[in-house]
Structure 1
Amino acid sequence: MFPAGVGPSPNPAGERHERRIRSFQPRRSRVSANQRDALLRLWPKWGVEIDGDRKLDLDALFDTLPPGSPVVLEIGFGMGEATAEMAAADPGTGLLAADVHTPGQGNLLLLAERYGLTNVRVANGDAIILLREMLAPDGLAGIRVFFPDPWPKKRHHKRRIIQPEFVELAASRLAPGGLLHCATDWEPYAEQMLQVLTDCPALENTQPDGGYAPRPDFRPLTRFERQGLEKGHVVHDLIFRRVP
């Protein structure tokens, strides 16, 4: 798809990290000509390979922002439209967007260039490796996991990303007061998310009643979400804060 050494790698971490059940399947097909062009031109500038071999210096990564600017990690961004909208609305915050979907990576880079979004970086690979190996504790202002795969069949629930181990790891990478924000339109998954997040001692629910949060204005309605709402799905937001 890409010349050797150019564009996102199909397996940036290789076999250097332990194998485990993954919550995603890499998809590299159906890249349009515009997306491919964006990846070829912009990946060296704004792309991050999740190889697990180094710690990221967030100030250096977001060198277009003042040192110490807040950085938010988004895990799974689809085609990137909502990500670009959030980045445009908050230009003083760095947005590190991680996914394995090559067309989406190219599309987000294309949108970032089109709208002059210098606060977006696109990470390719396993977000668990990114959190565990490449991001320092207490360094993120927020982590967003919007509409992850619900893996609805019971035998596949172990593939869901929102599990106790993930939440503990994510909480450790948040600065005190940082937010872990999840959203789903799959009711059983929302219930699991609420239980797992509530059980994490490093987090507290931002809702006094201990329940779901109303959709904040900064989270745009995505095309996927609109389709779910048209089908009668109920969308749940869960916003938890890292305790000091």
Structure 2
Amino acid sequence: MATARGDGTRESERARGDKSRTLTGWVTVAAAHAGAGASTVALAIADAAADTGRGVHLIEAAPPYCSGMVAAASAELGCNADDSWRRGQRGDVVIDRRATDADIERWPAPPRSCHGATVVDLGLLDGRWNELPDDLRCTVVVCRPTVPGIRLTEHLLGLLAEQPLAVAAIGSSRWPGEVTAGLGPRLRALRDAGRVVAVPLDRHLGLTGLTADPLPKAVRAAGGVLVELTATGTTQPTAAMPSRGAHR
């Protein structure tokens, strides 16, 4: 194993990441549909949380073939003992991303330098629920404010009922009439409660993808708003919503 520079975690600890350990307090981010922008939002949350001066642990759960974090670190620190996770450093954010396509057996051990938030980029969960612990609670759902986008968002919110939630909508805060007219009860309730955050669509970022460069200020500011919302522990608003169905 390559020893991680600037990380004091012992090698034996690095090999013992545990998929079953409690995830209470983790900020998790999931895409409601393909191309929603979950990785951008997860990185914005992590960077904003790191502004407190405490190290942040960012984990990308998506397989390597659809990684959005491959170029987000400014330094690569090597793989863990069983070569299942690859670690990188981005300022005060330590990024762990999957090194293989194998199912997640255990979460990477947290680095000793990280005493702040743990942020998990779940990506698109469709067909991958079995990879995740039963108690993993999604806190941020990412979508595009289009008619198909809000339909898929409403579906995912139904699977995540009774969980603390905010929605990050990539694009303008002013939604077209066709979109607002098609809002389902869950997304409408979150919007009415002020828990839908507009994340500006940055053309340059859309062209380059995530890199080691700082995120645009407006995107990072939206990440700060999401940090505050996910810290409140407020559960998803309920407004005559049907009961939760099986998600597996």
TM-score, normalization by structure 2: 0.40
Task: Report 1 or 2 for greater relative contact order, CA contacts < 8 Å, sequence distance ≥ 6.
Answer: 2
Q: From the two aligned structures, give the one with the greater helix fraction.
A: 1
